[in-house]
Structure 1
Amino acid sequence: MTNELLARALVEEATKKSGLIWVRGGVLAADGGDDAAPGPTRALWHVWHEGAACVVGDGPGEQPLPGLVDGGDAVVTVRSKDKGGRLVSWPARVVELAPESAAWEAAVAELKGKRLNAVDGEAMPGRWARECRVLRLEPAGSPGGLPSGSLAAVPVEAPVTTRGPVPAALPRLLWRRRRPR
């Protein structure tokens, strides 16, 4: 019982303090291991609210939520805020909140405060109700152990990733020597 409480506290505190979580949607393996979910892993901004990580997305100008379906499973990986290294991975159950419900209103009130660079400001909750999904990622079991592999993955293809020539001044800026004073 004590180990379960400590694991739950680790999940909650690490997720509260991290600005990003890495989420992979899909079907979990029977042992809840990291290599069980087949979908892509995405970095998502979130808030911790009433025992779950809440995220908003799948609308114009919002983060994509691939593989996250109501009633489905996911694996959430939390990184350290100061060092950026992986702290814990935990299995989650995905719950989609109905727009304008009491739970949706409470989650959106928290999410609204953390949303950066919103173009519509105070009209944002209305847009989220019409065009987006608000999901709760509820912890569903104990965190898994550390993986044996590196978890390195090929970046997800996107039209915004381009490779261009290095600016001519960059080598001079990076490699110039400082003059002694």
Structure 2
Amino acid sequence: MTSEPPARALFDQALIEEATKKSGLIWVRGDQAPAARPLWHVWHDGAACLVGDGPGEQPLTGLTDGGAAEVAVKSKDKGGRVVTWRATAHRLAPGSPEWEAAVAELKGKRLNAPGGEEITARWARECAVLRLVPTGVAPPPAGSLAEPPLPTPATTRSPVPAALPRLLARRRKRA
């Protein structure tokens, strides 16, 4: 005999795990953050593991130990939202068995890591390693979630100079 709530909870858990495993980035908004941020992660042992808040690493703005977070997972191929789930953030203590296991997974997925072999020692000294443990699926959002972009020192694209199309046309004729 099966009851409806446990079956729904298992479905939600499977959806969260599969969608998050397949996604390269997750959008995370901590309870202290004004907006969601894209973060790279690794799914390990029933939670999304993140590393950041150190030099050369992603900012974990608004995520505090024991704090709540909302995680949006998008489809890798279509870009649409697959699921939004609630989580509790847990900071892992450097050197603990949980930290070692999470860092081993994160190290394998970290692209272009400065320091190479010394990365785990640097993460232990200078960074935070967090686990986002799912607590349930969030209800679908009402309306558009479009927000203005976060401030950045990056420059925007300037208009194309008026003479550029003519210059490019000349190059094509010569070739």
Which category describes the TM-score, using the shorter chain as reference length? 0.7 to 0.9
Match of 2:26 in 1: 21
User: 3-state DSSP class of the match of 1:140?
Assistant: strand
Distance 1:81 1:49 in 2: 19
Match of 2:11 in 1: 6
Aligned partner of 1:136 among 131, 140, 149: 131
State TM-score, norm by structure 1: 0.84
From the superposition, tell whether residues 170 and 23 of structure 1 become closer, same or farther in structure 2 (CA, over 3 Å).
Answer: farther
Q: Deviation at 1:140? A: 1.1
Letter in 2 for 1:68: L
State TM-score, norm by structure 2: 0.87
Match of 1:127 in 2: 122
Distance 1:54 1:22 in 2: 13
Q: Which runs of 4+ in 1 moved over 3 A?
A: 166-172
Give the fraction of aligned pairs with identical amino acids, expressed as a percent.
61
RMSD: 2.1
8 Å CA contact 1:39, 1:66 repeated in 2: no
Letter in 1 for 2:159: V
Distance 2:123 2:117 in 1: 11
Distance 1:170 1:71 in 2: 57
Letter in 2 for 1:153: E
User: 3-state DSSP class of the match of 2:78?
Assistant: coil
Match of 1:94 in 2: 89
Which residues in structure 2 correspond to 1:89-168 (within 5 Å)?
89-141=84-136, 143-159=137-153, 161-168=154-161
From the superposition, tell whether residues 166 and 68 of structure 1 become closer, same or farther in structure 2 (CA, over 3 Å).
Answer: same
Structure 2 residue runs of 5 or longer lacking an equivalent are 1-5, 170-175
Structure 1 residue runs of 5 or longer lacking an equivalent are 28-37, 177-181
